[in-house]
Amino acid sequence: MTTASTDETLLRERGLRVTGTRLAVLRALSEHQHATADDVVRAVRADLGSVSVQAVYDCLHALTSSGLLRRMEPAGHPARYERRTGDNHHHVVCRSCGAVADVDCTVGHAPCLTPSASHGFAVDLAEVTFWGLCPDCAEGSAADPVPVSGPGTTF
Amino acid sequence: MTTASTDETLLRERGLRVTGTRLAVLRALSEHQHATADDVVRAVRADLGSVSVQAVYDCLHALTSSGLLRRMEPAGHPARYERRTGDNHHHVVCRSCGAVADVDCTVGHAPCLTPSASHGFAVDLAEVTFWGLCPDCAEGSAADPVPVSGPGTTF
DNA sequence: CACACTTTCTGGAACGATTCCAGTAAAGGT
DNA sequence: ACCTTTACTGGAATCGTTCCAGAAAGTGTG
């Protein structure tokens, strides 16, 4: 999909310098979506040989605030980054292993963007997170009391 | 609203022991909804004189996992606890100060509960978080570059 | 192509929220 | 009242992330 030269263009378009680390971070996230900072560090190290943790965090911040990456932080799990941006999609998170998958907006045009009572808040984004068990963890978990994370377990 | 004796009953109903700390935690959360663990520690100390941080965390866990409290964790902010449970309501979070307010389910009957493609996940809860600026922070922030938190700033 | 200027990268130390630990104290069924 | 279970204390440890100061690399201008 996103080739190296395109990544370079993307960076320049946003006025960001093109560095090996940044390209490697983008490459890592093309390869595995929803990676944690730690995953990215490992991927970049496998790719470039070595990087400091901070260099990766700096990249992730720069890329996130310029809109090339999106950051999501499921309660109780480290933050995850993804390249799919600007399409207002949502996520399913596994309570047991923290796995994340994309979910397209349930009801065509952003159903939840106009909260009934917004208490005077100037709302600019609606974030929807589905909680459950991924196929792997669901299997045989009815019996096992799997350590559960995330908000209220039932509704 | 929830009186002390009712709190005692609530605890017993769930098979939880009735202790001063637990009652004080419930009381604290009746007084200010969406309190952080730290807020609760302070409130309980003001009430009982002294408690260890761990006692409060233990209570919060016990009460949360028995369903008497709901825990929510806005990305980039410490977790907050509330007594309103089981009604599937949502939240508005201020990007600037972290203030939280309740939002009733936008479209009558839980619009987002059936993700279009759930990737085989067994989904049991949909959590909707609205991001924006609270009235206090919105005022005069168009100019100020307020430090922003939470997921992607635009959509 | 070199210069000066900016921005990034390094390594190490610090941070805040939360959890783990082992021991002591309190709750409640019989 | 006794004994088992569960909660509470204080202190140290963990995890993800950020802060810091200095060294190194990127880039627009001359």
The structural domains of chain A, ordered by start, are: 4-72 (1.10.10.10), 86-143 (3.30.1490.190)
Q: Which of A73, A105, A121 sits opposite B101 (nearest CB)?
A: A121
Question: What is the Cα A130 distance to its own chain's centre?
Answer: 14
Selection from A31-45, A116-130, A140-154 with the highest mean pLDDT? A31-45
Vertex A130, ends B110 and A91: CA angle to 5°?
A: 125
d(CA B138, CA B146): 10
Where residue B38 falls among pLDDT bands split at 50, 70, 90? Answer: very high
Query: What was the pLDDT predicted at A125?
Result: 84
Q: Is the CB of A22 under 7 A from strand C?
A: yes
Is B111's CB within 8 Å of A115's CB? Answer: no
| CA-to-C1' span, A54 to D22 (A) | 15
Encoding tokens for residue A93? 């998170």
β-sheet with B80-82: strand ranges across: B35-36, B80-82, B70-72
Encoding tokens for residue B76? 């980039």
Chain C nucleotides close to protein (CB under 7 A) are 7-12, 16-21, 26-28
Query: What was the pLDDT predicted at A99?
Result: 92
Is A125's CB within 8 Å of B72's CB? Answer: no
Q: What is the mean pLDDT of residues B97-116?
A: 67
The nearest CA of chain A is from the CA of B82 a distance in Å of: 11
Tell me A75's DSSP state: T
Terminus-to-terminus CA distance in chain A, angstroms? 39
Where residue A152 falls among pLDDT bands split at 50, 70, 90? Answer: low
Per-residue pLDDT tens for B72-85? 999 999 999 999 99
Give 3-state DSSP helix, strand, coil % of chain A, rounded to 5: 35, 20, 50
Nearest CA in chain B to A120: B135
Strand C interface, B 8-37, C-beta < 7 A: 17-20, 36-37
Where residue B153 falls among pLDDT bands split at 50, 70, 90? Answer: very low
Residues 6+ apart with CB under 8 A from B100: B34, B72, B74, B80, B91, B92, B93, B94
Higher pLDDT, A138 or A154: A138
Is A122's CB within 8 Å of B133's CB? Answer: yes
Where residue A153 falls among pLDDT bands split at 50, 70, 90? Answer: very low
Q: Which of A67, A75, A118 sits opposite B103 (nearest CB)?
A: A118
Helix (H, G, I), strand (E, B) or coil at B101: strand
Reply yes or no on whether the pLDDT at B129 is more than 80: yes
Q: Is the CB of A11 under 7 A from strand C?
A: no
Reply yes or no on whether the pLDDT at B1 is more than 70: no
Extended strands (E) in A6-85: 35-36, 70-72, 80-82
Q: Which residues pair with B122 in a beta bridge?
A: A133
Q: In 3D, which of A137, A95, A135, A88 has the Cα closest to residue A113?
A: A88
Query: What was the pLDDT predicted at B89?
Result: 86
Helix (H, G, I), strand (E, B) or coil at B96: coil
Encoding tokens for residue B49? 């004189």
